[in-house]
Chain A
Amino acid sequence: MKIKDASGAIKKKGSTKEMTKGLKVLVCVGIIFIFAGICTLFTAANGTVVTVGVRFDDIFEGRNPDGSPFEISEVLSDAVLERAIAKLEMNVTAKDLRRHLTVSDLVDEKRVEKAKENISESRDEYSDFPTTYQIKYESISEQIKNEGIISSISVFFKHLGMPSKTKILETVGECAAEVYKEKYVIDSSSLDINWKGADAMDYYNRALYVRKTAGRISRLLQSEYENDTAFASKQTETGFGDLREKLLDIDEIHIENFQSFVVQNGITKDRSALLSQFKYMKEKNIEINERKTEEYKINKNAVEIYDPAVTKVVFIPSIDSDRDFYMNRTKVGVDYLIERADRAKKAADDAEHNVIMYDYLLGKFAEDRGASKEEFAKADALYEGIKTSMNTVVEEAKTVFEDHSSTEYEFLNFKKPECAMSFMGMIVYGGKLFVWLLLVAFVLVGIFTAAYKAVKKER
């Protein structure tokens, strides 16, 4: 029934109706907007990320400092997580904690496409190994979502009792940096010398053992020096090169002196054992000499009877080490035989030389050459001297090592943790959610209105 008053009257009624309707719509939209906003905030609060920068040269080839392949998942290994859990005094297992953690390369499709382009252009040296990574901690991560709704809810409640996500990530970051450094930086304990073992040995063997140890340590110092030539510890004002020099001096003078004194004076703790040792080594080298000499003769003989006319020789162009062309003869049987003969003869000669050496030593330590008490005392004194000076160098080296590893190495650099979703991300996410909720509301309203109208019609 329409009230046909002055046309203004209808309009007025209509506009009020429209206004109320408009207001209702606005309120609904407002509620949906707020709801979307709250959901977005919840989702944003779910995750925290921390960026990791990898700071050493080998990473560009995808390698760790020792040359093995770099795997970012080492950052979330059991060793790291267990250490972090202990630090935070949490009551979870490493496996549990790992369910919340994910690591990403921060590599997108475009970057991979670019790599493919470069490969297709035959750029053989091309490599784009990522040097920045992101670790994300989520209360409810994808893995937990996959486990089901019950798991998600239980995790949510458990989470309320755990330390903050920022704290967890910071601690994991610290532990990861520590563990990584411990793994790839050579520990100063590798400089330790087994004096106990050396003391138990006879004088001559001791000299050999200490020599070998000094050699090993000086090689270690050399490779550390080559890695970082300029480094000098602030505490001792020496570098790896200086230490190596000191060690070589000890070897060339003190240990050399000790060894010759022992040999010249036939000083030994257990004469029969030492003589046994030399006798056996002499016999063994005689045997090696026999074997290798036979091998040498056989191969030499084979070269003599080799008939060159049977194998046709071909010349092929080759490049030598200076990248110059030359004509190289292809390898034939004679070449292999000569190589064998050569190796065998060298081994035989070495063995022969060893026999002479052991004969000499047997002479020096023979029964009738007893050393006097004074000479024993002197040998002991020389040995103690070696011990002292080597220990001094080792102590200094350890300080330098530790200085170096604490100041120079920052393999993994963890930045401050921040929210997983950036501001733009939140807007995009919230926007999408808002539109979706609007559509759902619209559809629902549509269904209800249609159903209402249908019911009304029936009545």
Chain B
Amino acid sequence: MKIMDLQNSLLKYKAPLAFFVAICILLCNLGIGVVQSHTAETYIKFLGDNAVEGLTPDGKYPLNPYEMTNASVLANAMDRVGELGDNNLKIIEGLTITPVVPYAEEEKYNSWIDSFDDYETSEENKAFDVYYRVSFTSDKGPEHARKVLKAILEEYKSFYVEKYGYESDVLELSDEAVLGYDYFESAQLLEAKIENDIEYFTNLSESDGDYRSPSTSYTANDIVSMYTNLRDTALASVYNNILEDGIARDAETLAANLKTKAEEAGMDRDRNNQKAQTQIELMQVYSKKNKNYLWDAKYADEESEQVREDTERDYVHSLDKSVYDSMMLEYSNLATSAAYSNIDEKYNNKYAESFLGTADAENASIQAALEDICSKLNTIHDIAEETIEDYNHYKSAKFIQSITGISVSKTMGEAICYAATIVLSLGLGVVVIILTELKKKGKI
């Protein structure tokens, strides 16, 4: 009986029920439109041996992908998207970075946790994460989420190379800066600049000698070749003329300057020699004393007595050299420095001699020669700069790799929402109808 009644009452109220369900669906639709957001996600990997050790490529800092939320990265990214503004906080809220731990590592780690007393060792030995999932959630539509995530990743890659990859930079030489001095000093400045750039590119050719810039077609070696050509022909000739004939705008000042440099070099030599001597003395004392502690001659044949097994390896210390070795290398540095200063003194004195007693003169041909070298240097510099730009762009591929593309999906499952709405509204409607009917029949 009850069921028949139910069916009848439902049929009676079918219109309001349908109406109610329809309104609920529309409200659900509206609600989704307001609340729905889209999430763009992708996976990246940090490359290189240093990354596996949890360090940045230069080995100096711990790897920290959360630097992506750095203010400059975000500002540049939003500029790229075309939305400059100070809603950085909102962007940070939408950005999620999670490491991806391989199953094997998880299992390994969990088994360590079980044997609790190994906790400390296991923390140290836990592998560093190199894979990360990066996602960005936006309420401005799927394209917005994709664009922002893409921009942030691109900016982060450049930021990463800039911060941890660059060793130094090749700087532009301004003519006024170099030519404003006396001829000899200008020549010295030019030489120093060229030597600096040669060193930079030689280092580059040692790590990435094969890289050929697509814009200039030059490799690092090609550029070194250009610089050495300039240094060993035009510059050499000018230098020699200046020294041989003692050409200077203000010979007296120059000679005095050089003499001072010579004297300073002499003092440096003496100081460094003394320091080197101290190192030697310390090392002798050290080695004498240490021999007693380190190696007990009584047990010379039984190594097991000397070496203690199962000690925790002091990871950081093992990377540095021992105290004795550090002292020895320091001695080598100081003594070499002193020797160089000695040679500096000799040569500065020799240069000073060339300018003693010569008349001050403007020399147009020397000036012209120096200007010519300057302009040739700037030509080479333009090529060098373009090559480095390409190289730095290339380098970022060695540090961070995108494993997948960017996929965008709705954060909230719409089908479930609608299904839930229909079921709930139907249910609610039916319940209300039953209650109304029961009330009408006076049973409540």
Contacts and interface: CB of A to CB of B under 8 A. Distances in A.
A276 B237 contact: yes
B222 A294 contact: no
A116 interface: yes
B111 interface: no
Interface in A178-195: 183-187, 190
Contact of B405 (A95, A106, A340): A106
Nearest to B346: A290
B404 A128 contact: yes
B328 A302 contact: yes
B213 interface: yes
B390 A66 contact: yes
Interface stretch (A13-21, A35-43, A205-213, A247-255): A205-213
A69 B41 CA distance: 18
Contacts of A121: 102-103
Nearest to B394: A68
Contacts of A92: none
A62 B401 CA distance: 7
Contacts of B406: 105, 107
B229 A63 contact: no
Contacts of B104: 122
Contact of A107 (B23, B222, B405): B405
A120 B409 contact: no
A69 B236 contact: no
Nearest to A106: B405
Contacts of A223: 210, 212
A294 to B, nearest CB: 4
A216 B212 CA distance: 11
A69 B22 contact: no
A351 to B, nearest CB: 13
Most A CB within 10 A of own CB, among B23, B244, B402, B404: B404
A327 interface: no
Interface in B375-419: 390, 393-394, 396-397, 400-407, 409
Interface in B1-29: 15, 18-19, 22-23, 25-26, 29
Interface in A150-209: 183-187, 190, 201, 205, 208-209
B84 to A, nearest CB: 13
Nearest to B244: A276
Contact of A443 (B22, B222, B243): B22
Interface string B401-442: 111111101000000000000000000000000000000000
A333 B295 contact: no
Contact of A311 (B140, B210, B211, B322): B322
Given A281-B236, A309-B291, A183 B404 contact: no
B238 to A, nearest CB: 8
Contacts of A183: 214-215
Contacts of A143: 82, 143-144
Contacts of A111: 404-405, 407
Interface stretch (A230-238, A389-397, A419-427, A434-442): A434-442
Contacts of B286: 310
Prevailing SS type, chain A contact patch:
helix
Nearest to B106: A120
A303 to B, nearest CB: 9
Contacts of B343: 287, 290-291, 294
Interface string A254-270: 00000000000000000
Interface in B21-75: 22-23, 25-26, 29, 41-43
Interface in A310-342: 310-312, 332-333, 336-337, 340
Nearest to B133: A116
Contacts of B342: 294
Contacts of A291: 339-340, 343
B336 A298 contact: yes
B301 interface: no
A388 interface: no
Interface of B: 15, 18-19, 22-23, 25-26, 29, 41-43, 82, 100-105, 131, 133, 140-144, 146-147, 150, 154, 157, 210-219, 222, 225, 229, 232-233, 236-241, 243-244, 280, 283, 286-287, 290-291, 294-295, 321-322, 324-325, 328-329, 331-332, 335-336, 339-340, 342-343, 347, 390, 393-394, 396-397, 400-407, 409
> What 7 A-B pairs are tightest by C-beta distance, nearest first?
A105-B405, A190-B217, A333-B325, A107-B405, A130-B405, A294-B339, A280-B240
13 contacts: A62-B397, A104-B146, A120-B102, A143-B143, A186-B217, A212-B229, A216-B222, A273-B241, A279-B240, A294-B342, A298-B339, A311-B322, A442-B19
